[in-house]
Amino acid sequence: MFQPWLWIDWLYYLTPAGRQYTSTLKIVHEFADEVIKKKKLEQHSKTDLTELENKTNDIGKKKKTTFLDVLVEENTKDDTPMSDNELRAHVDTIMSAGHGTTAVAVCWALFLLGNNPDHQEKVHKELEEVFRDSETPATKEQLDDLKYLSRVIDETLRIFPSAPTISRKLTEEVKLGKTFNLPAKKKILKNLFCKRLNLFVNQLNVII
């Protein structure tokens, strides 16, 4: 906090801490790249028969599909697929902060829905309309149709953040109020626990 010379990226990377950070990050990226490479090769080598065998075992039960399996498979179907760097960023996020934070968010979402039966009923109705009697895994298109559930999750994360802070890199200038501007291409750190309760109360307020 009191070493402003470390705020400059190129200067930080020259320090022992910066060199260690770069070395560690390289290891993480190489591991993620290798995992993605293997998954892509698996996707390209699949045939209809092997795909069926991979999804079901001898007794007809469906095998579990990992996040990366879904990510790579959907990415190959997309008209504008993500680059390897974008895929790696998603993998890094899941490996570093994608398990405990997700579990916490799900628990709080269920808590809020349990305490707000009206919103719970709307979510249930939406699920019935989107999935009906389908027993197949949800598709990306179906998940995109869950508009109300998405708002509930957003509200849950606003009221009960899974992490204390988030960082973002601004793609364009952002104006706060009448006098304060955040310049483009700057990194910002947002404290999620500091919020104006007189403006946004701690109750489920879904806007759709």
Mean pLDDT for the stretch of residues 60-77:
70
Least confident piece of the model among 66-70, 136-140, 147-151, 159-163: 66-70
Q: Where are the alpha helices (DSSP H) in the chain?
A: 9-12, 16-45, 48-55, 67-77, 84-97, 100-114, 117-131, 140-144, 147-159
Q: Is residue 2 part of a domain?
A: yes
**b/e map of 161-183 (b: 16 or more CB within 10 Å)?**
bbeeeeeeeeeeeeeeeeeeeee
Token pair for 108: 């709080």
pLDDT tens across 85-109, in order? 888 888 777 777 767 888 889 999 9
Q: Is residue 33 part of a domain?
A: yes
Q: Is residue 112 part of a domain?
A: no
Helical (H) or strand (E) element with 189: strand 187-191
Q: Domain total for the chain?
A: 1
pLDDT class for 49, splitting at 50, 70, 90?
very low
Quick check: 60 pLDDT over 60? no
Q: Where are the alpha helices (DSSP H) in 46-116?
A: 48-55, 67-77, 84-97, 100-114
Token pair for 33: 């790249």
Q: Is residue 31 part of a domain?
A: yes
Statement: the pTM of the whole predicted model exceeds 0.75:
no
Q: Is residue 1 part of a domain?
A: yes
Q: Is residue 28 part of a domain?
A: yes
Q: What is the pLDDT of residue 47?
A: 46
Quick check: 48 pLDDT over 60? no
Q: Is residue 58 part of a domain?
A: no
- Domain hosting 30: range is 1-47+70-81
Q: Is residue 126 part of a domain?
A: no
Q: What is the pLDDT of residue 8?
A: 84
HSE-CB of 120 using CA atoms within 13 angstroms:
9
Distances (CA, A) of 142 to 131, 138, 167: 7, 6, 30
pLDDT class for 203, splitting at 50, 70, 90?
low
pLDDT tens across 168-180, in order? 889 999 988 888 8
Residue with more model confidence, 203 or 175:
175
